[in-house]
Amino acid sequence: MIRRVLVVGAGQMGAGIAQVAAEAGRDVVLVDVSEARLQGGRAQIDASLARLTKKGTLSQADAQAALARITTSVELAAGQGAELAIEAIVEEREAKRRLLAELDRLMAAPAILASNTSTLPITDLAAATGRPDRVVGMHFMNPPPVMALIEVVAGLTTSEETVRAVSDEAAAYGKTPVRVRDMAGFVSNRVLMPMLNEAVYCLMEGIADAEGIDAVMRLGMNHPLGPLALADLIGLDTCLAILEILQRELGDPKYRPCPLWRSYVQAGYLGRKSGRGFYTYAQVPPEKRARS
Ligand SMILES: NC(=O)c1ccc[n+]([C@@H]2O[C@H](COP(=O)([O-])OP(=O)(O)OC[C@H]3O[C@@H](n4cnc5c(N)ncnc54)[C@H](O)[C@@H]3O)[C@@H](O)[C@H]2O)c1
């Protein structure tokens, strides 16, 4: 029975995951490296809960109760008593392996360690711990409070009991768990990222401007968000990291990231989270503009 959840990383995914778990009645400890990051996470949760109450999907009282169940800390040890830890830190193999090894030392023996990695093989992350049967992928979609899917990734060493426990937990969050095999990118990013990459090549080659490319995919393919607007939502640094991991892990040059990703990331244009990516976010978001 999972009552307390530790979420590590208070960025756009971690904050959203903390909110979803708290809405489902879990006591949540949200950890990040600095108070400033935690403050950013809390502001994101406040804004998201306010949107849900305004829409009428959540009552004021339930939003307040969810908020009261979330505590924040810069110390991992604050989450020691949790039955489930979900890491949502940067998409870097070494950083995640280091964190999982630390969680393995800190958390009680039966606790499950889940990773929200977009691409990294779970078997490799699990091998950094002494409990590889209790390490699993719980891949939330962005933004977690809105999106209905959680990919549940079973590594080679993940036990059936662990897969069942996190699938039940996903269902308790009101999400649909879909079990996938542990192969870089799973299903979601294996299919999505080559499309986003191709859209960036179209931009680099001047086939259309950003708004044109997105309009083709929204109006022609019925996608709710164009690929470049979606890349801005995901984070261009995260997209670049995912493509590099796909290329390295699967060894196929078809995943080679378009060089433009790197230039944007080098310039600090990371998408919505930095205020600028393929679009600038002081402006009206592209999917809300009149072009049709
Ligand atoms: N952005 C998406 O659409 C999306 C979707 C699904 C999964 N993911 C995955 O979720 C993870 C997080 O992505 P994000 O978009 O939230 O990134 P982000 O950059 O918004 O947030 C990452 C947070 O992790 C914190 N952090 C880094 N190292 C840490 C450590 N050792 N201990 C504690 N906190 C640490 C950073 O300070 C930052 O606040 C990545 O693995 C990413 O691939 C992202």
pLDDT band at 290 (very low <50, low <70, confident <90, very high): very low
Q: How far apart are CA 142 and CA 233, in angstroms?
A: 8
Q: How far apart are CA 239 and CA 58, in angstroms?
A: 32
* Segment 77-106, tens digit of pLDDT: 999 999 999 999 999 999 999 999 999 999
Output the six-digit token pair for 248. 């390295």
**pLDDT average, residue stretch 209-221:** 98
118 is catalytic: yes
**Residue 115, beta-bridge partner list:** 87, 137
Tally: H helices and E strands in the chain: 12, 8
State residue 238 phi and psi, 5-degree precision: -65, -40
Pairing of strands 149-154, 135-140: antiparallel
Distance 23 CA to ligand 1 centre (A): 21
Output the six-digit token pair for 165. 């426990």
Output the six-digit token pair for 280. 């600038």
Among residues 23, 83, 116, 139, the one annotated as catalytic is: 139
Among residues 115, 151, 169, 197, the one annotated as catalytic is: 151
CB atoms within 10 A of CB 67: 15
Q: How far apart are CA 250 and CA 185, in angstroms?
A: 9
Q: Residues lining ligand 1, judged by CB closer than 6 Å?
A: 8-14, 31-33, 37, 88-91, 95, 99, 116-118, 140, 142, 234-235, 238, 273
CB 111 within 8 A of CB 139: no
**pLDDT average, residue stretch 38-43:** 98
| Domain 4-181, CATH among 3.40.50.720, 3.10.20.30, 3.40.50.2300, 3.30.420.40 | 3.40.50.720
Residue 65's pLDDT is: 98
pLDDT(75) > 50: yes
73 is catalytic: no
Residue 287's pLDDT is: 54
3 state DSSP class of 274? helix
139 is catalytic: yes
Q: How far apart are CA 29 and CA 82, in angstroms?
A: 8
pLDDT(250) > 90: yes
CB 67 within 8 A of CB 49: yes
3 state DSSP class of 191? helix
* Segment 146-198, tens digit of pLDDT: 999 999 999 999 999 999 999 999 999 999 999 999 999 999 999 999 999 99
Mean pLDDT in the chain?
96
Among residues 48, 116, 118, 197, the one annotated as catalytic is: 118
User: Which atom of ligand 1 lies closest to the CA of 238?
Assistant: 43
Closest CA to 18 of 44, 36, 57, 37: 44
Q: Judge if pTM exceeds 0.85.
A: yes
189 is catalytic: yes
* Segment 100-146, tens digit of pLDDT: 999 999 999 999 999 999 999 999 999 999 999 999 999 999 999 99
Q: Decide if 4-181 and 190-282 have a common fold.
A: no
Distance 90 CA to ligand 1 centre (A): 4
Residue 282's pLDDT is: 78
**Alpha-helical segments (H) within the chain:** 12-23, 35-55, 60-68, 93-106, 122-126, 160-172, 188-204, 210-215, 221, 227-234, 236-250, 259-266
Q: Any idea where the domains of the chain sit in the sequence?
A: 4-181, 190-282
pLDDT(235) > 50: yes
User: Which atom of ligand 1 lies closest to the CA of 237?
Assistant: 19
Residue 292's pLDDT is: 31
Residue 284's pLDDT is: 52
**Quick one: fold of 190-282?**
N-(1-d-carboxylethyl)-l-norvaline Dehydrogenase; domain 2 (1.10.1040)
Output the six-digit token pair for 7. 């979420």
